[in-house]
Structure 1
Amino acid sequence: MKLSSLLAKDGLQRLPARVRRRLALEARRLVSVGVAHVPPLRSGLELLSFELSLLLAQGSKDMYGASYYGAGRNPLDREGNSGYEHYRRDSSHANKAAYLLWNHFDVRTSLDVGCALGFTVQALRELGWDTQGSDFSDFAIHHAPWDVKPHLSLGDLSQRLPFDDGQFELVSAFETLEHLPPSMVPHAISELHRVTRGFLVVTAPSFGPCGTGPDGWFDGKVRPERLEHYRSLGPDYLGPVPEVDLARDEWGRPLEGHVTIASFAWWRRQFESAGFVLAPALEQRMYADIQALGLQGLWNLYVLHRPGVALPATDLRTPEEQARLARRWDVPLGAG
């Protein structure tokens, strides 16, 4: 199908002409250079995903460079903020993420994918874990704290991560997979499956019934004028939400760079297709911590494991150990 025909489908004609011209140029460039893991284009919506795939697969560092981490106005947020302004370990959710993993897993080797400046890696290493981190942004790796930088690597989930098969007992990806277009998600999850021999913990913006924790929501994820439409679709709607209906910043880009917004059922299907097994009982216990940590309105959780892997024991940590670490890291347990 011709590019002009693709651009006329699925409501993309509503986009500004300059955006449609850019899509066409990016698509032609992608065809000329070749990019892995991008499917054949069949619709205008796939063309929009196609353009975002290009930005990731060709290593666009300006999207996740200095502006994303607070050095100047950031186009990924309606207020010019990405959540990383004045980004420090004590002002981020890094200690909470590390506490969540420590409280429920008894492992020694772990990988944090989408680690940003490596604060969660730093926290877990303080506890004696052999934790490494990987991120797409060379800016983030370069500006990581000196003591954690040797344990961080550049990694692109649209390609092969720089780690061996089954290298880690636990892999985490906090608020990371939603930055990939839907066409890249299966490959990304297959890479997470490849490098873990045990467990995977993921948070990603989701909607619909959860079953192990609070249900998801559309607010802040889709355009305000489309909220009622998506709420009316009921629990059977899986998503992902089409690109044209995603919430946007004032620059017209998906809010905070989130380009895959889907239901719990859709995400779980992706994990199971990659070979993971759901761990609902463990997930439910971890959701209790998410509430206690004050993250219930922010994080939608998924806990998976490789087939045949024994689940960790309940109550791994004593109340005294939990309270001691919470004080050390100033983690506000009971904030939910």
Structure 2
Amino acid sequence: MGDLSTCVLCGPTPATLVVAANGFRIVRCGRCNLVFVDGARDLENLDTFYSGTYYQGEDNAVYGYRDYTADRSIHLKNSQVLLSVIERRATGSGRVLLDVGCAHGFFLRAAQARGWVPHGVDISAEAVEYARRDLGLAVTRGNIDDCRLPPLSVDVVTLIGTIEHLTDPMRTLRSAARLLRSGGLLAITTPDIEGRLGYFSWKPPEHLFYFSARTLARLLDETGFVVELRRIEWKYYGLADLGQRLWGYWGLPNPNRWARALESVGLGRLSVKIPTNEMLVIARRR
């Protein structure tokens, strides 16, 4: 079957090698089929990976973003779409929302404008500083366990393109369950390893876990959640960002050439809404 690896769902278990990428072994659990970076829970100092040019790097075609803050209006558009989905399912009068992996806080700002009481957490020092200084948001640097929120005090927890980055997603979801009131909502977006659109990238150490609908559902079940909605995620992308990402995905040289060309004629910030290889999952705390 293969060497033993430690699966967050099954513990030590035989696993088969899927691919070796960027000096990491990506393996598949022989019991539950979860795909993950071998030894993900032992990785340290990942906060340095999310600093420097991660959010602003002209040559970022595989990791990170070309210019995250310049695409603020696009992030806000995507935030409004997700918030509408959440609000259709939210019950009760509570309006406390925690965004785990909140980056610069654009989703939190959109939530605040719709009457939510926003809290966020992120490991990037630069992103947290921006959210605090430029947006005036209550954002903590660290992980979910660093948030000073009492148990059963939160109505919605979101992990928007976050769970695949975590070294221990089970621990994070258990912490989310402790913070959420009974019946509270959890919203997750993450790449689907079995997505129908067929484009997918192995990106360690940026992405450490590669979920299918089945493995994510099992993780949610074991951490106290019931899945209510799962669908393909449609998102707005800036044309420059989209072009650079596709250029990098196809492995073509000079991935920023397309982005520069669009920006030179004033089209780089125009946005299009397209289906992605990500899934949106809404789950409710038992």
Say whether the fold is shared (TM-score over 0.5): yes
How far did 1:72 drift?
6.8
Q: Residues 13 and 139 of structure 1: is their aligned pair in 2 closer, same or farther, counting only changes over 3 Å?
A: closer
**Given the alignment of the two structures, is residue 277 of structure 1 paired with residue 226 of structure 2, yes or no?**
yes
How far did 1:297 drift?
1.4
2:159 aligns to what SS in structure 1? strand
**Given the alignment of the two structures, is residue 137 of structure 1 paired with residue 119 of structure 2, yes or no?**
no
Q: Cα deviation per residue 1:151-170 (whole Å; 9 max; x = unaligned)?
A: 1111325x554422122111
How far did 1:275 drift?
0.8
Rounded to whole Å, the distance in 2 between the matches of 1:165 and 1:119 is 25
The percent of aligned pairs where both chains have the same amino acid is 22
1:296 aligns to what SS in structure 2? strand
1:175 to 161, 165, 176: 161
How far did 1:259 drift?
1.7
1:49 to 38, 53, 57: 38
Question: Is contact 1:118–1:144 with CA below 8 Å preserved after alignment?
Answer: yes
Question: Is contact 2:197–2:277 with CA below 8 Å preserved after alignment?
Answer: no
Question: Is contact 1:207–1:217 with CA below 8 Å preserved after alignment?
Answer: no
Question: Is contact 1:121–1:148 with CA below 8 Å preserved after alignment?
Answer: no
What amino acid maps onto 2:285 in structure 1? R
How far did 1:95 drift?
3.0
2:138 to 151, 175, 193: 151
Q: Residues 122 and 10 of structure 1: is their aligned pair in 2 closer, same or farther, counting only changes over 3 Å?
A: same
Question: Is contact 2:102–2:121 with CA below 8 Å preserved after alignment?
Answer: yes
What amino acid maps onto 1:53 in structure 2? R
Q: Cα deviation per residue 1:194-240 (whole Å; 9 max; x = unaligned)?
A: 222210010011133xxxxxx5455223xxxxxxxxxxxxxxxxxxx
1:123 to 100, 110, 124: 110
What amino acid maps onto 1:121 in structure 2? L
Structure 2, unmatched stretches of 5+, are 4-14, 26-34, 237-271
Match of 1:185?
169
CA RMSD of aligned residues (A): 3.7
Q: Residues 117 and 268 of structure 1: is their aligned pair in 2 closer, same or farther, counting only changes over 3 Å?
A: same
Correspondence 1:234-253 to 2 at 5 A: 247-248=202-203, 253=204
Rounded to whole Å, the distance in 2 between the matches of 1:188 and 1:164 is 15
Name the one with the larger helix percent: 1
Question: Is contact 1:141–1:149 with CA below 8 Å preserved after alignment?
Answer: no
Q: Residues 61 and 185 of structure 1: is their aligned pair in 2 closer, same or farther, counting only changes over 3 Å?
A: closer
Match of 2:279?
300
Q: Residues 132 and 216 of structure 1: is their aligned pair in 2 closer, same or farther, counting only changes over 3 Å?
A: farther
What amino acid maps onto 1:49 in structure 2? D
1:203 aligns to what SS in structure 2? strand
Match of 1:40?
none
1:128 aligns to what SS in structure 2? coil
Q: Residues 150 and 86 of structure 1: is their aligned pair in 2 closer, same or farther, counting only changes over 3 Å?
A: closer
Match of 2:96?
109
Question: Is contact 1:66–1:72 with CA below 8 Å preserved after alignment?
Answer: no
Rounded to whole Å, the distance in 1 between the matches of 2:109 and 2:149 is 19
Name the one with the larger strand percent: 2
Rounded to whole Å, the distance in 2 between the matches of 1:60 and 1:166 is 29
Structure 1, unmatched stretches of 5+, are 2-8, 24-45, 209-214, 222-246, 308-336
User: If the length of structure 2 is used for normalisation, what is the TM-score?
Assistant: 0.65
What amino acid maps onto 1:179 in structure 2? H
Rounded to whole Å, the distance in 2 between the matches of 1:108 and 1:219 is 36
Q: Cα deviation per residue 1:82-132 (whole Å; 9 max; x = unaligned)?
A: 125252353543332233213541552111111100011111112221111
User: If the length of structure 1 is used for normalisation, what is the TM-score?
Assistant: 0.56
Q: Cα deviation per residue 1:56-86 (whole Å; 9 max; x = unaligned)?
A: xx44322011221115755xx53xx512525
Q: Residues 217 and 129 of structure 1: is their aligned pair in 2 closer, same or farther, counting only changes over 3 Å?
A: same
How far did 1:178 drift?
0.4
Rounded to whole Å, the distance in 2 between the matches of 1:82 and 1:14 is 20
